[in-house]
Chains A and B, each alone.
Chain A
Amino acid sequence: MAAVIFFVAAALAVIGGIGVIISRQPIRSVLSLVVVMIALSVEFLLLSAQFIFVVQIIVYAGAVMVLFLFVIALLGPARELGRGRLRFQSWLSLLFVAVFFGLIYAMFQGITYRQPDKADLSVFGTVQSIAVGLFTNYLYPFELTSILLLVAAIGAVYLSRRDLR
């Protein structure tokens, strides 16, 4: 049962991914990405990451992607026309990326995983366990991340203001 869910979600994700890179109109790319994100959140759920599953949908798909949509709406539709100036770019890119993928695939063949740490699977991935980790071991990165968000917000406000002459 879980396997079926997995494969369906995986198929959706891959189709969405292909859609992202193929779409001529940026708005379609954004929407394809949303599909990918929702599919991925299902995967997260399968991996006992309940909190992340929710956060992915609310924050990522809900906020960040909406932001993208707003910007696209602001900037107007744009179409990529023509063949582009760099002649070898596409071929070389595909070559290297293919090599890269082959590499990763080859790695799977010989992987040995280490012994898992013993954790309580019933509370694994719940809000409590995330909170415990976040506010005890990783408090410092947590605070830094909040500062980072603050800085990003200030930066965005500043960068996008109109010039006041």
Chain B
Amino acid sequence: MSSFDVGGSTLDVSWFLLLAAILFTLGTIGVLVRRNPLVILICIELMLNAVNLTLIAFSRQLQNIDGQLFALMSMTVAAAEAVVGLAILVDIFRVRDVEDVDDLSEMSG
């Protein structure tokens, strides 16, 4: 049930899922460990891409187009979110040079 045929060879959907899991994990580590705000945004994009991969893999396995449509929407939203996030970042950078996201910790206590 989990394998499907692509141009002669058989692929198993679980490989794709594993790949997506690895990428997602890498993205999470990046968000947690890196301190440059830009890099954090990039790692978020990585996570979103991993999710897209999962969606499309399942879409193929279940032979339902909805997964791909969802991935399409997800891509759109990711783009919008990246745009707004970067705009905010630019705004902050106008005031001060942020190299370390830990510097933006006024909302504490």
Q: Is A74 an interface residue (CB 8 A)?
A: yes
The residues in B between 60 and 100 inclusive whose CB is less than 8 angstroms from any CB of A are: 60-66, 68-69, 71-73, 75-84, 86-91, 93, 97, 99-100
Cβ-closest chain A residue relative to B102: A85
B18 and A105: CB pair below 8 A? yes
Q: Inside 8 A of A8's CB, which chain B residues have their CB?
A: none
Q: Inside 8 A of A46's CB, which chain B residues have their CB?
A: 6, 11
Cβ-closest chain B residue relative to A112: B1
A111 and B49: CB pair below 8 A? no
Q: Inside 8 A of B60's CB, which chain A residues have their CB?
A: 47-49, 124-125
With A and B bound together, what is the CA distance between A44 and B71 in angstroms?
A: 11
Contact with B along A139-153 (1 / 0, CB 8 A): 001100100110111
Q: Inside 8 A of B68's CB, which chain A residues have their CB?
A: 49, 51-52, 125, 130, 133
Interface residues of A (CB under 8 A from B): 1-3, 6, 10, 13-14, 17-18, 20-21, 23, 26, 29-30, 33, 36-37, 40, 43-44, 46-49, 51-52, 55-56, 59-60, 63-64, 67-68, 71-72, 74-75, 78-82, 84-86, 89-90, 93-94, 97, 100-101, 104-105, 108, 111-119, 121, 124-125, 129-130, 132-134, 137-138, 141-142, 145, 148-149, 151-153, 155-157, 159-160
Interface residues of B (CB under 8 A from A): 1-2, 6-11, 13-19, 21-23, 25-30, 32-36, 38-39, 41-43, 45-46, 49, 52-53, 56-57, 59-66, 68-69, 71-73, 75-84, 86-91, 93, 97, 99-100, 102
